[in-house]
Structure 1
Amino acid sequence: MTAPSIDLAAHPLTHWTGELGLPDFAAIDQADFEPVFDAAMAAHRSEIEAIATNEEAPSVDNTLKAMELAGEPLSRVLAIFSALAGADTNPHIQALERAISPALSRHFSSIAMNEALFARVDALWEKRDELGLDGETGQVLEKTWKGFVRAGAKLQGDDRSLFAEIGARLAELGTAFGQNVLKDEAEWELVLDEADVAGLPSDLLESMAAAAQSRGHEGRYVVTLSRSLYEPFMQACGKAEFRETAYKAFTNRGSLSEETDNAPIIAETLRLRDERAKLLGYETFAAFKLDNTMAKTPVRVMELLEPVWERAKAVAEDDRQALGELASAEGQNAEIDGADWRYWQERLRTERFAFDEAELKPYLALERVIEACFDVARRLFGLQMVERSDLKGWHPDVRAFEVHDADGAIRGLFLADYFNRPSKRSGAWMSRLQSAHKLDGGEKPIIYNVMNFAKPKEGQPALLSMDEARTLFHEFGHALHGLLSEVTWPSISGTSVSRDFVELPSQLYEHWLTVPEIMQSHLRHVRTGEPIPAELMEKLEAAQGFGQGFATVEFTASALMDMKYHDGAPADDPLAFEAQTMDALGKPDAIAMRHRSPHFQHIFAGDGYSAGYYSYMWSEVLDADAFEAFTETGDPFNPEIARKLRENIYAAGGSDDPEKLYTAFRGQMPKPEAMMRKRGLLTENSREV
């Protein structure tokens, strides 16, 4: 098929003319996506063919550098499309996503299986010790060569075409999986009246009223399947029947109707992943995915997860008994089930620590938390964030900030899209429109965060929970990983690191939310402006470890399920396999997995975290130890530690092996005890793991 006649050098999808290099979103016609994708892929194929057929001997410049710089129009249209598909989708975008995902998979597979191109890369790899490469370029060559091999470059005959077809089909399945979850989340609602919501906190009522208004239920109250509404509702609602209704819907997202049932997609995905791994010579898909991570093998992952799992179950059982005693004392059924846990846990937290999450929320206004988040970046790294209300994103809710270094120079651009809406997939994430790099003149980063906080009524402040405030800090930690990158090569910029290292900068950044001077400076009452009282801070600190049995079981169950799916025979009936696995592991019935299989988008809406969900905990071992580097000095903003952190972690990208980078920062690799202490799972009487 002849590519459409599109001027890629002038089209707003591929030629970004906005200030600071931002795309002109207002000039984008969504009908142009398909022809621009076709033209951009054709242009990229031409560039690749020119590199592959170059008659000159392979060199870093004519092969490695040329490949890194090829395909810029495709990268640009894909960056815009991905932002819209995740944060502001519509039926047209979703239909195109279903078509373009397999087309892109086939496009990149064809490049990976271009024999002449791989021969040039392979020639460089074979004589790498003779090329006098600097460390960063050596990393890029190794990553590029391994990327070809892992993408099937060494396969022959029918195996090559089969590998490409599997990749295309997996792309289709991942898109369908995510769209099914989005449909369930967008359409389900629990509509309540005034009498039904008596006693709920005022900020939750305001969010529920705003959700009702946006869904056409003026004057009523709505619970959606957004965590920002679901979790506070489950903590505060004293009416068990409403909790039960919400709980069943939330835990069954991705299977609420025959139309959105993700079970067949999971089964086919697992089968194809296993087949693809075996084509490459790996025993399982988990062995394939872990081969280029810090963990290296499924055995090392399980050595982390299993001891934590057993300790978390023991702590959760103690908590379950305490919750049952409280419920019984108040005349309720002492048998705690999944719909009960969050409610009675919040009640017990209030009783034990005189701490009520609702008491804290007025100090967690979104604007105050943003201020705190940006101030930490200033104190640690000298960054200044300057809001630009004149710069527009893909939706009116998107906010833009210039990022300045300590000397005033513009480092890049940060976009933030904070509020939930039906057109946005659930969760929170960081991504980029443009990476920071220095190759061939370089580019400044354009990084964005997407959240799903409940949007308040107009004129009212958005109040966050503590978990939501941590999420904001977490995602901004990812953003800093992109903004502070100082590498030359685009392919190792920012978050382009192994999956079990990528969460370190984000999870580490969460620690500064609860540093006392940050809390007192910024977390001020939304109405009075008074700083958070010392007494409330003490209550918060005392209550920090409470509920960690629940939280750790919830997370670790999902991480274990991910490994069980990908380190064994594919599951023909994934939901039955999930139930059998959780039963064999002894998962408490009253604690649901944080992500049940039908809505486990981390591992099934694409393969980004497949056989890799454990990496949050792996990184947590690192982040707990890394923050102790500061606390050991008595200064959470110690300038010398901050300098080493920036240089070896946030700025380094994938320029070296992650173990070397972490050791350069800290002196040695950590053990799990720091993470267990942080979670409150270790006491003086408990055995360390």
Structure 2
Amino acid sequence: MPDTTLDPNNPFATASTLPFAFPPFDAIRHEHYRPAFDAGVAEHRAEIDAITADPAPPTFDNTLVPLERSGRLLDRTMRVFYEMANSMATPEMQELEGDLMPAWSAHRDAILLDQALFARIDAVHAARHDGGLTPEQVRLVERHHTDFVRAGAALPAAQQQRLRELNEQISRATTAFGSTLLAEANSMAVHVTDVAELAGLSDDAVEAAALAAKEREVDGYVLTLLSPTIQPALASLRNRETRRRLHQAATTRGMRGGDHDTRSLIVEIAALRAERAGLFGHPDHASYVVEDQTAGTTTAVTGMLDAMAAPAMANLDDERAAIEAAMRADGIDGPVEPWDWTYYAGRVKAATFDVDPQELRPYFSLERVLHDGVFLAAERLYGLTFTERPDLPGYAPDVRTYEVFDHDGSTLGLFVCDWFARPTKRGGAWMDEFVTQSHLLDEKPVVVVCLNVPKPAAGQPALMTVDEVRTAFHEFGHALHGLFSDVTYPRLAGTEVPRDFVEFPSQVNEMWMWDPAVLASYARHHATGEPLPQDVADRLIASSEAGMGFDTVSMLGAALLDHEWHRLVPDAKPVTVDEVEAFERGALEKHGVASPLVPPRYRTGYFAHAFTNGYDAGYYSYLWSEVLDADMVDWFRDNGGLRRVNGDAFRAGLLSRGGAVDPMEAFASIRGRGPSTEPLLRRRGLLD
């Protein structure tokens, strides 16, 4: 047994004394995590034992309330650790992650499979409508009961033991996948020595590549890989060979052999999840996952995705014809290759709309996007204001923290932003929470948003692509979901909603990047301050809706690929390592979205959402949530757009409620009905 006596000098030993219980990053060291974890597990176990030892009949107050209050030491330790394992993934953090995550999984199983605790929750659940509980309290009972049942508390003992073993194995394998993929992405970064090979990139992008090479202690320039298949630099690089190298590096990650090959982990994870689903009586892991989502069934998921496939592929053919014409105009008679598509799609878009998004990056400096775009929209819509707090310690250089004030001057919480890429930071973009809002615990939210914008050279502004601007608005939508949370119990706070609903508020927030008043405020040339001309802005907005065939096929490919990996039947012959790519091809062909020119947004070998980030059998949720998003965007537009009355309604009816209400009821409370698919089909050009 580990020593669970925690040194009082350990920064996790007591709640942080910094404002809003902000983590004391200047005091936290690598050696603090394991002792705090062990002590936190012991403390949590003792608190659970106290609940189950209570001789009084189980009630909401003596069972659910102390359960919500339990595990505070473990919670504050693991919230920081999990974020640092993603943002500051040094070799020692990766090694510790490999130890802690399986132990964390085992402890979680021990709580959720505790028969005495489940018996008490089950009793409260049976009487939940008879004891005068509030609607939020009833919802809390139901969510906890569902958590325990779906974790296996109602399974026979022998199956519970196998479940524990499977959960530990899955935790080890998914943790290993994340670490292996980070190492692979770093090793596959494209190194060039001649700046001519980077022709077409902006000066600041070249400088960022030079800085990346310097950080890796190599000469020349390094193009680092971002998480998705399509790398932003492909839109600008004129050198076809450099495009080919970058595209092939991106699309072969994890599937080229060697120490960083992820295929054996993928096969293992898929098989383990399939077996675990079988314990619960489900035909496959996707069925198990979707049962607790708003979609409800795998039939609903595949029905929605398959309905989009044929019109998306038809749109793709039209786009391919235009791209091949642009290539011929460039003197290239050969067939279009995958690494040509993004570059020439940009050329076609530039010619059609007389605007090149890549050339507009000087108008999108990160500082203006943040303060005069993201923050401004939140001010106009919700009455929020932001004040930077340089007194609060950051966990890395350039990490910044803002205090967020409500329209009445009261404090909502803290917003932490970590914008820049670094070798120890995992790819992609995400929002997380260091502290979750709860009236029960008297805690205000502390949310963090991470992007991977290339860091500029010293003294130069960080200039963003249009996609990076969209990502900033998107992730801040998640942050608002956490900041606006106004619930009593932490289990229901903020983004504690079904996975296929959680992306919806963040996707809605993307609409404000194009709002005329917001765009005019932040889209200004970083050197001259001149605003982006209105006619250019209009053409840029129009161009953002072009190329939807490619985007839809790419998204469908990823969603269906994730789904098919998790439709594997427990007793079926497992997919072998050598069959991974054939399985991928078969999955795409089965659903009619196989294209040699349009790989999925994430291929199997680097599909972190599916194999480590908690979106297993759930990547469809981006498109599912977009149905809700497109419909709600229409509501905002029909009601005057960026107005406080609209923001207040959206906040009160949905954002503030977290998981305290049924999510589809929250949607209907604003929209006046359930969601319609027509706005999404129209947005993506998929209507006849």
The interval holding the TM-score normalised by the smaller chain is over 0.9
- Determine the C-alpha separation between the residues in 2 that align with 1:79 and 1:568: 32
CA deviation string 1:646-672 (max 9, x = no partner):
011210100111110000011011222
Q: CA deviation at 1:288?
A: 0.8
- Determine the C-alpha separation between the residues in 1 that align with 2:229 and 2:149: 45
- Determine the C-alpha separation between the residues in 2 that align with 1:595 and 1:228: 6
The reply to whether residue 678 of structure 1 matches residue 683 of structure 2 is yes
- Determine the C-alpha separation between the residues in 1 that align with 2:642 and 2:341: 37
The answer for the alignment partner of 2:339 in structure 1 is 339
The answer for the alignment partner of 1:591 in structure 2 is 598
The answer for the alignment partner of 2:626 in structure 1 is 620
- Determine the C-alpha separation between the residues in 2 that align with 1:242 and 1:100: 40
Q: Does structure 1 retain, via aligned residues, the 8 Å contact 2:228–2:428?
A: no
Amino acid at match of 2:85: A
Q: CA deviation at 1:631?
A: 0.9
Q: 633, 643, 650: which one pairs with 1:645?
A: 650
The reply to whether residue 668 of structure 1 matches residue 669 of structure 2 is no
**For 1:110-259, what aligned pairs fall within 5 Å after superposition?**
110-192=110-192, 193-217=194-218, 220-226=220-226, 231-259=231-259
The secondary structure found in structure 1 opposite 2:338 is coil
The reply to whether residue 452 of structure 1 matches residue 449 of structure 2 is no
The answer for the alignment partner of 2:363 in structure 1 is 363
- Determine the C-alpha separation between the residues in 1 that align with 2:70 and 2:237: 55
**For 1:443-592, what aligned pairs fall within 5 Å after superposition?**
443-569=443-569, 571-572=575-576, 573-584=579-590, 585-592=592-599
Amino acid at match of 1:385: F
Query: Structure 1 stretch 197-206 or stretch 461-470: which is displaced more?
Result: 197-206
Query: Structure 1 stretch 18-27 or stretch 5-14: which is displaced more?
Result: 5-14
The answer for the alignment partner of 1:386 in structure 2 is 387
- In structure 2, the CA distance between the partners of 1:8 and 1:628, relative to structure 1 (3 Å rule), is farther
Q: Does structure 1 retain, via aligned residues, the 8 Å contact 2:213–2:221?
A: yes
The answer for the alignment partner of 1:416 in structure 2 is 417
The reply to whether residue 430 of structure 1 matches residue 437 of structure 2 is no
The secondary structure found in structure 2 opposite 1:225 is coil
Q: CA deviation at 1:502?
A: 0.4
Q: Does structure 2 retain, via aligned residues, the 8 Å contact 1:13–1:77?
A: no
Q: If the length of structure 2 is used for normalisation, what is the TM-score?
A: 0.96
Q: CA deviation at 1:12?
A: 3.7
Query: Structure 1 stretch 475-484 or stretch 540-549: which is displaced more?
Result: 540-549
- Determine the C-alpha separation between the residues in 2 that align with 1:592 and 1:298: 23
- Determine the C-alpha separation between the residues in 2 that align with 1:95 and 1:360: 42
CA deviation string 1:209-266 (max 9, x = no partner):
2222222245x22211136997332111122221111111101222344211111111
The secondary structure found in structure 2 opposite 1:317 is helix
The secondary structure found in structure 2 opposite 1:503 is helix
- In structure 2, the CA distance between the partners of 1:276 and 1:165, relative to structure 1 (3 Å rule), is same
CA deviation string 1:269-301 (max 9, x = no partner):
111111111111112211111111110001111
Q: Does structure 2 retain, via aligned residues, the 8 Å contact 1:223–1:230?
A: no
Q: CA deviation at 1:18?
A: 2.1
The reply to whether residue 30 of structure 1 matches residue 25 of structure 2 is no
- Determine the C-alpha separation between the residues in 2 that align with 1:153 and 1:489: 22
- Determine the C-alpha separation between the residues in 2 that align with 1:2 and 1:332: 66
- In structure 2, the CA distance between the partners of 1:401 and 1:13, relative to structure 1 (3 Å rule), is farther
Q: CA deviation at 1:188?
A: 2.4
The secondary structure found in structure 1 opposite 2:398 is coil
Q: If the length of structure 1 is used for normalisation, what is the TM-score?
A: 0.96
Q: CA deviation at 1:643?
A: 1.7
Structure 1 runs not aligned, ≥5 long: none
- In structure 2, the CA distance between the partners of 1:627 and 1:259, relative to structure 1 (3 Å rule), is same
Q: CA deviation at 1:158?
A: 1.6
- Determine the C-alpha separation between the residues in 2 that align with 1:620 and 1:185: 29
The answer for the alignment partner of 2:45 in structure 1 is 45
The answer for the alignment partner of 1:658 in structure 2 is 663
- Determine the C-alpha separation between the residues in 2 that align with 1:434 and 1:92: 25
- Determine the C-alpha separation between the residues in 1 that align with 2:122 and 2:462: 54
Q: Does structure 1 retain, via aligned residues, the 8 Å contact 2:383–2:644?
A: no
Structure 2 runs not aligned, ≥5 long: none
Q: Does structure 1 retain, via aligned residues, the 8 Å contact 2:175–2:612?
A: yes
Q: CA deviation at 1:204?
A: 2.1
Q: Does structure 1 retain, via aligned residues, the 8 Å contact 2:11–2:27?
A: no
Q: Does structure 1 retain, via aligned residues, the 8 Å contact 2:229–2:250?
A: no
- Determine the C-alpha separation between the residues in 2 that align with 1:233 and 1:380: 34
- Determine the C-alpha separation between the residues in 2 that align with 1:621 and 1:611: 18
Q: Does structure 1 retain, via aligned residues, the 8 Å contact 2:229–2:602?
A: no
Q: Does structure 2 retain, via aligned residues, the 8 Å contact 1:228–1:468?
A: no
Q: Does structure 2 retain, via aligned residues, the 8 Å contact 1:436–1:486?
A: yes
- Determine the C-alpha separation between the residues in 2 that align with 1:269 and 1:52: 34
Q: Does structure 2 retain, via aligned residues, the 8 Å contact 1:212–1:221?
A: yes
Amino acid at match of 2:645: E
Query: Structure 1 stretch 249-258 or stretch 37-46: which is displaced more?
Result: 249-258
- Determine the C-alpha separation between the residues in 2 that align with 1:137 and 1:430: 27
Amino acid at match of 1:394: Y
The answer for the alignment partner of 2:403 in structure 1 is 402
Q: Does structure 2 retain, via aligned residues, the 8 Å contact 1:377–1:383?
A: yes
Amino acid at match of 2:349: R
- Determine the C-alpha separation between the residues in 2 that align with 1:535 and 1:217: 44
- Determine the C-alpha separation between the residues in 1 that align with 2:526 and 2:436: 36
- In structure 2, the CA distance between the partners of 1:2 and 1:94, relative to structure 1 (3 Å rule), is closer
Q: Does structure 1 retain, via aligned residues, the 8 Å contact 2:231–2:247?
A: no
Q: CA deviation at 1:196?
A: 2.1
Query: Structure 1 stretch 30-39 or stretch 252-261: which is displaced more?
Result: 252-261
CA deviation string 1:477-502 (max 9, x = no partner):
00000000001110010000001110
The secondary structure found in structure 1 opposite 2:278 is helix
Q: Does structure 2 retain, via aligned residues, the 8 Å contact 1:9–1:15?
A: no
Q: CA deviation at 1:19?
A: 2.9
After superposing on structure 2, the runs of 4+ consecutive aligned residues of structure 1 that deviate more than 6 Å are none
- In structure 2, the CA distance between the partners of 1:2 and 1:263, relative to structure 1 (3 Å rule), is closer
Q: Does structure 2 retain, via aligned residues, the 8 Å contact 1:285–1:566?
A: yes
- Determine the C-alpha separation between the residues in 2 that align with 1:199 and 1:111: 56
CA deviation string 1:545-588 (max 9, x = no partner):
11111111111100011111222435343332112222332411
- Determine the C-alpha separation between the residues in 2 that align with 1:649 and 1:332: 52
Q: CA deviation at 1:162?
A: 0.3
CA deviation string 1:29-83 (max 9, x = no partner):
2112112211110111111111112111111111001111100000011011111
- Determine the C-alpha separation between the residues in 2 that align with 1:12 and 1:614: 37
- In structure 2, the CA distance between the partners of 1:350 and 1:287, relative to structure 1 (3 Å rule), is same
CA deviation string 1:296-347 (max 9, x = no partner):
0011111211121221111011111111121123221441121111111111
CA deviation string 1:125-182 (max 9, x = no partner):
1111211111111111001001101001011132111001101110001101111110
- In structure 2, the CA distance between the partners of 1:285 and 1:198, relative to structure 1 (3 Å rule), is closer
Q: CA deviation at 1:432?
A: 0.3
- Determine the C-alpha separation between the residues in 2 that align with 1:358 and 1:264: 38
The secondary structure found in structure 1 opposite 2:231 is helix
